Structure 1
């Protein structure tokens, strides 16, 4: 008898223990997180390799010893009589799992064990075995726990979830052993005479594993590479007999398995995988949308599926309405069925408004997931009244849209704010850009729990399409916490997709998905018009220009010239596109520079200077940090030196609580007129002072 270590994914420990005890009835199994061990024979180890539906690795333990230092790890590895297990001409690899205070790096631990193995061969006058990372003859496995290490032969060679039938996958493939755990936890694996349905089958893993279970097919039957193939201790006859026996106990299908997906491409992939697995004729595949699905058979059974999780923020905008509709469909069409869903987003499943009967925690790869079981009995198929007519957020949004209808028409724009944290529980801003919505979630106050905040956001995303008529696919979701410096301009993704919008007859390009801000500050709509009306015949300077919208207004307002300055080449290119889109004809200059220092040395003279700086910035491109409260007077001093006689500065910023240094302004011979009230558009009036704005000019 020898110690055998079997590993699996977190959450499958208890299931694996039950499986091992079935395969090896005499085994006294000891459990630990993600693994278990027992004393067993080679036939026991072979059986687990061939038959386990839940294990990842099967380790034939060769040594256990100290690893409280690099030298101790080396000595433990040297204690194994490696020439008994391999020849010099065999290749080897070492997989090392775990760290401690002495062994802080798994690669270092693997190298120390490799060194011990090859040194032992050299000491005994033999050639050094060579290292082969992929498919080595002898795969060595080491597991570090505190100051002790377990070293052994990885009999599986590669993770046992790799059944050798899956040639292609979708974007987020479900591992085969996780699929089996789902089938076991759902209850179907113990009741295989009833139908099984996977409504989001992807590459077919759940359906194929179900067919293997129903037909009593050993999950390792198609694998050719094993870690023990070249092992000197391998008993070929024993293994061959187990394989022959496994083939003899396969049985015909006695149940119905159905697999469908909304993607025709994935259905093709699933069919190919099922064919390679040898169970193509046991599964009925179809192209079908789960949200519109109906049972393929009258007899109720089990739905076991792995729906999308919405790991990426933007995916939630489409998934929340989808899950809501899916929940309604299940209640109507799937009464009497058992439903098991795996998700890393438990809140997303709650949108379906189904009462769970049981939940299990397990990991799908690195994602912590829940397998949630539902029984669609009479109580669980009641439809909840959740139409948009009866929801407070939906009602408020509807009132806003009705009130704004005449103003929008008069404003001659297709981009405006329709909701701005009007209700404390729904702490979001929602901007409409033609047929798109941008939802910005403000960071919740500490008094609001994260769970409640998530629930409220999901309600927003659920009702928005119903109230506005805009498709969930055209909703961009962003989280806006209090930002510093230029962080608000950082990229979220890289689609590069531009959309054209308009205001006051002027067209602009916006990017609704890649950045926290879109390229057009909607609250400055009135401010841009004021600059336009002041620009005729003047030399205009636009500092911190962003995407140049103010420059376009000035140019179309008849400016003599427009100079546009920003630190970002990306935004300057964007500004050039906006100018070209509107055929601005006056002379223009686009300058890439740090506005906080560029102006201090600049010798140009201007009639009108527009300044809308960030509240704070510490960009790497800047020589110093910038704080608008601390530094605005210095900037206005430099701007004043660049003003022509009779020139004007329009100064704006959005720092909460900002106070203009009126005494300092006066000392410069300037006077400031607060025009904030004129610059706040009607769609931002509910928010109050989203920004402040002054016209600063020479005192007469």
Structure 2
């Protein structure tokens, strides 16, 4: 009798325990790390061929104490490794777990590896080679509560891979997780009823569902097994199990038609799903249709199950469209799918409230590193009585303080925007504290920046409010949801002010008072253009004609660009980031500005300023509030260090020159005593530098004109 351990994803363990029992396993014990069971070698092969829910099946070889490295080594030496594989076979060791003495998996794995090769050497055998990429046989050591167990990776890695999925969408489900979701949805109790996935992606849920309905052995086509080079492998016994699995799979004929339906808005992904269905030999049983989930209609002859896994997690760019879709889906379900079962699997559980349905069961699972839930709903008479006439029922416009405020704001800004011919501007900036977001328009696109909510506000309330913002902003402003970019802005403690949030690598061109500028509203928290400094740029530019101008902490060079266009004789642009400096160069090239009078310097601005030898007539300084970039020798705090920066700037300021100093620190206080000691006069020009769309936010930035007395 062998002892086995079946591994799977978090949340699937109860289903896996039931599956193993049904497959004939004995002494089945479910634990957090997996499901333990016993059986003979024939059962091990049987489980490998038939389990849909396991990701790996391990066979126990030995165990021992593991209080420290020496005990681990001794325990590993107690295993007769040469009875399990031969010297000419390559091997690998996976180590799972840690303790105070064994602090990382690499250390534990090396210790076990040393014991394995020493075992062969002590018996006068050739030392086997380690190969983690093309290994013949893999072992796993699992450390738990001071004890270590050694296993043969019996099935081999990725047991969940069926072989039909050549391509997948952006965030595919593993096949064993898909099988678990199908099981939990309840559809398998009557597979004559329709199963619909309105966001089917690459089709994994549907393909798994059909395969389960046809009672197929999922791993019939697996070519590489973990036991292939194991010396205890009985190929005759395995071939018998394989033949039996093939015969049972081929002979099963359901007594009813099985038809499932996949919908997706992305025609390219749908082609992938169709290809995967063909490879799985289920193309005739899956009906794919390219359509928007929120526009789905009940074209099915009887009530069934709707099961889907919407985009979520890192795919946050999809959220604006998902909010609108979910708000509409709740109404579609109520109006057209009476008596159906709905099952939604998502990490963005706050979206579920938009359905306006009451779930009767929720299961917690993991999809990779993401905490997820599978929510089940029965569209019975009680649910349908909560209905409404449109998707807007989820957020009643007349009751939305946010929607009303946004309408008021855009009405006030309309004439000003038209008169100034401004393409990029702010329409809302946390005007109502409960709706803690900033909303900017860039041409015909919308950027919603969600600020971190105060700690005393529950997460579910925060999520509902941002959903309301996402839902109403594009509607009130007349912008397509596909042109909405959502960003999460957090206070950056001890880090750089610019953070990458996506990798779309898309840009767009906007215009500001005759200047063309490249912005990226998708990839970074900041877009490449600080809208609150629009007026500041014009004030600096108006002073620049025939002057030598220095722009420090230049970011993407928008100030440099404006002064160059306004006739500066020379412009020096300094920033630590090559990314943003290259962006500044592209802005200049876009405006046909070229020549030796435009210099771009990649350097730590603070250090560069101390060594600057040129004299500048106009110096613009817009430092971060705080920075401890790895490229800097020390940290920088604008409140603490602003006098030092101004002192260094003074050394390269020409007679009669001017420093424009600005920053975004709330409640910043200029040290007038120190400034006076330097023989300078600092004049607060903050009110002059705030344009109409930032009049409300007096703390958005503060600006100073500094000159010699």
- Compute the TM-score of the two structures, normalised by the length of structure 2: 0.90
Q: 1:609 corresponds to which residue?
A: 619
Please give the residue correspondences for 1:202-241 in structure 2 after superposition, counting only pairs within 5 Å: 202-241=201-240
Going from structure 1 to structure 2, the CA distance change for 1:691 and 1:169 (only over 3 Å counts) comes to closer
Q: Which residue of 2 aligns with 1:629?
A: 639
Match of 1:410 in 2: 419
Instruction: Quote the residue 1:307 is aligned against.
Output: 310
The question of whether the paired residues in 2 share the 8 Å contact of 1:397 and 1:467 is answered with yes
1:457 to 459, 466, 476: 466
Pair 1:93–1:657, CA change in 2 (3 A): closer
Q: Is the 8 A contact 2:327 2:394 kept in 1?
A: no
Match of 1:297 in 2: 300
Give 1:507 shift.
Answer: 2.9
Could you tell me how far apart the structure 2 residues matched to 1:219 and 1:428 are? 48
**Counterpart-to-counterpart distance in 1, 2:478 and 2:222:** 52
Structure 2 segments unaligned to the other structure (5+ residues): none
Q: Deviations over 1:540-562 (max 9, x none)?
A: 33333333333333334344444
Evaluate the alpha carbon distance shift between residue 395 and residue 623 of structure 1 in structure 2; reply closer, same or farther with a 3 A threshold. same
Shift of 1:685: 0.8
DSSP 3-state at the match of 1:165: coil
Displacement of 1:45 in angstroms is 2.3
Alignment partner of 2:27: what SS?
A: coil
1:675 to 675, 685, 690: 685
**2:525 paired with 1:516:** yes
In structure 2, C-alpha distance between the alignment counterparts of 1:586 and 1:221, rounded to whole Å = 68
1:34 aligns with 33
Do the aligned partners of residues 231 and 468 (structure 1) sit closer, same or farther apart at CA in structure 2, a change above 3 Å counting?
same
Any conservation in 1 of the 2:341–2:379 contact (CA below 8 Å)?
Answer: yes
- Structure 1 residue 169 and structure 2 residue 179: aligned? no
Specify every segment of 5 or more residues in structure 1 that has no aligned partner in the other structure, as ranges: none
In the TM superposition, what are the counterparts of 1:505-544 in structure 2 within 5 Å? 505-544=514-553
Distance in 1, matches of 2:584 and 2:305, equals 57
1:227-376 paired onto structure 2 within 5 Å: 227-250=226-249, 251-253=252-254, 254=256, 255-376=258-379
Residue matched to 2:79 = 80
**Which of 399, 403, 410 is residue 401 of structure 1 equivalent to?**
410
Contact kept, 8 Å, 2:504 with 2:522, in 1: the verdict is: yes
Secondary structure of the structure 2 residue equivalent to 1:546? coil
- How many Å apart are 1:80 and its aligned residue? 3.4
What's the CA shift string for 1:266-307, capped at 9, x where partnerless? 333333333333333333333333222223422111122222
Partner SS for 2:288: strand
- The verdict on how the C-alpha distance between 1:334 and 1:489 changes in structure 2, with shifts beyond 3 A counting, is same
Question: Which residue pairs with 1:45 in the alignment?
Answer: 44
Alpha-carbon displacement from aligned partner over 1:667-689 (angstroms, at most 9, x marks no partner): 44433333322222111111123
Task: Give the TM-score normalised by structure 1.
Answer: 0.91
Q: Residues 119, 679 of structure 1: CA spacing in aligned structure 2 closer, same or farther, 3 A cutoff?
A: closer
Q: Distance in 2 between matches of 1:651 and 1:136?
A: 62
Distance in 1, Cα, partners of 2:131 & 2:202:
31
Residue 95 (structure 1) aligned with residue 94 (structure 2): yes
Moved more, 211-220 or 252-261: 252-261
Give 3-state SS (helix, strand or coil) of 2:217's partner. Answer: coil
CA offset at residue 468 of structure 1? 1.1
What is the CA–CA distance in structure 2 between the aligned matches of 1:122 and 1:569, rounded to whole Å? 54
* Number of the residue aligned with 1:649: 659
Determine helix, strand or coil for the equivalent of 1:167: coil
What CA distance in whole angstroms lies between the structure 2 residues aligned with 1:9 and 1:457?
Answer: 31
Larger mean Cα displacement after TM superposition, 195-204 or 108-117: 108-117
User: SS at the partner of 2:497?
Assistant: helix
The alpha carbon displacement at 1:137 in A equals 5.0
User: How far apart, CA to CA, are the structure 2 residues paired with 1:303 and 1:447?
Assistant: 37
CA-to-partner distance for each residue in 1:65-102, whole Å, 9 max, x for gaps?
Answer: 22223333333333334454444444544333222233
Mapped to 1, the partners of 2:314 and 2:167 lie a distance apart of 22
Match of 1:212, SS state, is helix
Write the distance in 2 (CA, Å) between the matches of 1:16 and 1:597. 61
